Structure 1
């Protein structure tokens, strides 16, 4: 897994990968946002909903910690062995949004993630135990790793998915 030399390096990578990912959707017509194609497991709207869901989970975990609440990851309603149910929740949550609205929401939420990263001290971001929510799994990852796994990594893999979707759709 990629590591980061600094807070700014993480911010730069998230910014770059988010832009590359979301720009792929600008050529997709809203009428096709819910279209499946063979060989791609999600629709364009589901791909963005997945990203929104994870970013907002991180933001909610952070807010709950600030409010003195104990965070249960991924959520009290979904366990790590039921991520399919969680993903369906994400899809349902954003199902009625237009593609333009999803893109706008994605860009706003990336900004919130960047602001969150900027608020951390380096030791909080790069050392284990930076937040209670980051210690809720046996691996007890540092916050940067949670952020990478739920932003940069899927931005890259889902960019490949939307590109394949566009190719198979003739877009």
Structure 2
């Protein structure tokens, strides 16, 4: 994972990777959104649902902690050893939306994440253990949590969508 030296580097990475990821859905027709193809583990709808789910969790962890709520990551109903179940929950929760609606939801969440980053103190963003929800044995700063839930999957899932379109 790249170590970001500034908020600008992080937000630029998110914007760039998100735009490229989102553009991959331009050429996908709505009737194909749930089509699973060989050697691709997610449909276009599942791909977007996954992203909506994780970016939504990221925002909710921060929001809940600031409200004084004891945050259970990833969720109170799903533990880290049941991510497949969590992902299936995301697919059920967002899969009934059209691709356009899913893209709009994700776009709004990315806008919220970018605003959140801009409003965080650098120490909170780049130093570990500044939020209870982000305190792990790995001692990741919030910037890494943001990266692994935005930039990293946008890049890898963009590749998946491109393969899906060719398949």
Residue 16 (structure 1) shift: 0.4
- Whether 1:140 and 2:143 are equivalent positions in the alignment is no
- 1:102 Cα offset (Å): 0.8
Pairing 1:40–2:40 present: yes
Shift of 1:95: 1.5
Structure 1 counterpart SS, 2:25 = helix
Instruction: Name the SS of the counterpart of 2:130 in structure 1.
Output: coil
Residue ranges of structure 2 left out of the alignment (5+ in a row): none
Q: Give the superposition deviation at 1:140.
A: 2.5
Instruction: Note the aligned Cα RMSD (angstroms).
Output: 0.7
Q: How many residues align?
A: 167
Instruction: Identify the residue that residue 117 of structure 1 maps to in structure 2.
Output: 117
For residue 79 of structure 2, what is the aligned residue in structure 1?
79
Spell out structure 1 runs of 4+ moving beyond 2 A.
Answer: none
Matches of residues 28-67 of structure 1 in structure 2 within 5 Å?
A: 28-67=28-67
Give the deviation of 1:139 after TM superposition: 1.3
Offset at 1:103?
1.0
The equivalent residue for 2:16 is 16
2:69 is matched with 69
3-state SS of 2:91 partner: helix
SS at match of 1:117: helix
- The unaligned stretches of length 5 or more in structure 1 are none
> How many Å separate the matches in 1 of 2:106 and 2:76?
24
> Under a length normalisation based on structure 1, what TM-score does the superposition of the two structures give?
0.96
Please tell me whether residue 165 in structure 1 is matched to residue 167 in structure 2: no
Residue by residue over 1:102-134, the C-alpha shift from the partner in whole angstroms, topping out at 9 and shown as x without a partner, is: 111111111011011111000000001121111
Report whether the alignment pairs 1:152 with 2:151: yes
